[in-house]
Amino acid sequence: MYSESDLQSAVDAGAISAEAAEALRNHVASQRATPAVDEENFRLLTGFNDIFVVIAIALLLTAISWIGGAVAPALGSALVAAASWGLAEFFTRQRRMALPSIVLLLTFVCGVAGTALEILAPTEMGRFMLDRANALSAISFAGIGLAAVIAATAHWVRFRVPITVAAGALSFLVLLLALLVSVLPALKDHLTWLCLGGGIALFAFAMRWDMADRSRRSRRSDVAFWLHLAAAPLIAHPIFAALGVFAGAIGMAQAAIVVLLYVLFAVLSLAIDRRALLVSSLAYVLFAISKIFETFGAVGLSAALTALVIGSALLMLSAFWHPARRLVMAPLPQGLKDRLPILGHATTATKPA
């Protein structure tokens, strides 16, 4: 499987002509009856060997963590980080394997963060203090976030794995929130809304990457995909939690608001040509619609009816994504349209990052 960035890289390297690449894109799009830009292509697997390698990596890193942790907890995490970097030198930098690269990035950043955690909060009491989010523990949490940001930055400079930017952005968000709580401890009671603000900031950051590659033919689009995936739950969860969706029984008014918000998320998703918000908020709307069916007496079949309604709606949206997106884009100002992902094929190639 070849991604758009692979195809564009082949054009830049002179392996194929730009005209041949465009003809291939048009041919594939005609077979799928949908423009390539609407497919949200990103490379997760280069082959079954990716899965085989990930299984081996998981076994190796688990053993390393176990053995190192038996000597010292921080040593186990540090060895995982070191091993992840070393393995990435081969599987990411040389072999360019997709899924192992993602896994090794995550284990490297988590290994560095875990090492910082063991150093800054080495006891169970220290971890309890982190959970309580007082000023002292917030500073420790900030140190963990800073370590993760540095790790993600170094990994990006070396390997350029698209998910790295999202990992670094989330780590920076943890760092920023921890610093805010350390300065103003009262903010610990408003972390949900701070996370919402962070999610909106991540969404804006993702849109900057998206607007830099409107035809989605370079690594920038892959980076934007992971940023949207990171931002979506940070936006959806605080909003629906504020409505008390999972706090207990919800009324018809709350359920109706949840459904309305999901429709608004669908419109936004169509406009930006991303599906992350729809996936992240799916659990909430499923719960809300099941409560609506229960209110009207369909207690025993509420789950089945909910799955039927939402499943059918999402399949219809997927089948008619491009026409629906064209409908949503029609009333938007031209200046905004020129910044959002294109409707259809690009006529010129975008040079990858």
> What letter would DSSP give residue 331?
T
On the CB side of 6, CA atoms within 13 Å amount to 12
Given a cut of 50, is residue 213 above it in pLDDT?
Answer: yes
pLDDT in tens, 97-107: 989 999 999 99
Please report the pLDDT score of residue 128 as a whole number: 46
Of residues 133 and 19, more confidently modeled:
19
Given a cut of 50, is residue 122 above it in pLDDT?
Answer: yes
Given a cut of 50, is residue 47 above it in pLDDT?
Answer: yes
Number of structural domains (the chain) is: 1
Name, in order, each residue with C-beta under 8 angstroms of 20's C-beta and a sequence gap of 6 or more.
none
Whether 152 is in a domain gets the answer: yes
Given a cut of 50, is residue 353 above it in pLDDT?
Answer: no
Long-range contacts of 88-95 (CB under 8 A, 24+ apart): 88/155, 88/158, 88/159, 91/53, 91/57, 92/159, 92/161, 93/158, 93/159
Of residues 215 and 127, more confidently modeled:
215
- Tell me the average pLDDT across 242-267: 81
Given a cut of 50, is residue 349 above it in pLDDT?
Answer: no
CA distance 17 to 24: 11
Given a cut of 90, is residue 64 above it in pLDDT?
Answer: yes
Whether 324 is in a domain gets the answer: no
Helices 321-329 and 302-319 pack at an angle, to 10 degrees, of: 70
The three-state secondary structure class of 153 is helix
User: Two tokens at 255?
Assistant: 């359920």
Please report the pLDDT score of residue 124 as a whole number: 45
Given a cut of 50, is residue 351 above it in pLDDT?
Answer: no
CA distance 99 to 92: 9
Of residues 41 and 273, more confidently modeled:
273
pLDDT in tens, 272-303: 999 988 888 888 888 888 877 777 666 667 77
Whether 61 is in a domain gets the answer: yes
pLDDT in tens, 138-154: 777 788 889 999 999 99
CA distance 309 to 299: 15
Given a cut of 80, is residue 175 above it in pLDDT?
Answer: yes
Whether 317 is in a domain gets the answer: no
Whether 97 is in a domain gets the answer: yes
The three-state secondary structure class of 338 is coil
Please report the pLDDT score of residue 346 as a whole number: 40
Name the residue type at position 308. Answer: L
> What letter would DSSP give residue 352?
P
CA distance 1 to 85: 25
Given a cut of 80, is residue 39 above it in pLDDT?
Answer: no
pTM of the model: 0.82
Whether 45 is in a domain gets the answer: yes
- Tell me the average pLDDT across 116-121: 83
- Tell me the average pLDDT across 313-333: 91
End-to-end Cα distance, the chain: 20
Please report the pLDDT score of residue 91 as a whole number: 95
CA distance 222 to 258: 30
User: Two tokens at 199?
Assistant: 């999610």
Given a cut of 90, is residue 65 above it in pLDDT?
Answer: yes
CA distance 145 to 174: 6
Whether 31 is in a domain gets the answer: yes
Nearest CA to 228 among 165, 285, 307, 183?
165
Give the domain extent around 162.
4-244
**Confidence at 13, pLDDT banded by 50, 70, 90:** low
Nearest CA to 105 among 92, 118, 96?
92
Of residues 38 and 18, more confidently modeled:
18
- Mean pLDDT, the chain, whole residue set: 83
CA distance 325 to 328: 5
On the CB side of 98, CA atoms within 13 Å amount to 15
pLDDT in tens, 86-96: 999 999 999 98
Whether 323 is in a domain gets the answer: no
Q: How many CB atoms lie within 10 A of CB 233?
A: 16
**Confidence at 31, pLDDT banded by 50, 70, 90:** low
| Positive/negative CA dihedral, 140, 144, 146, 150 | positive
Contact 45, 99 (CB under 8 A): yes
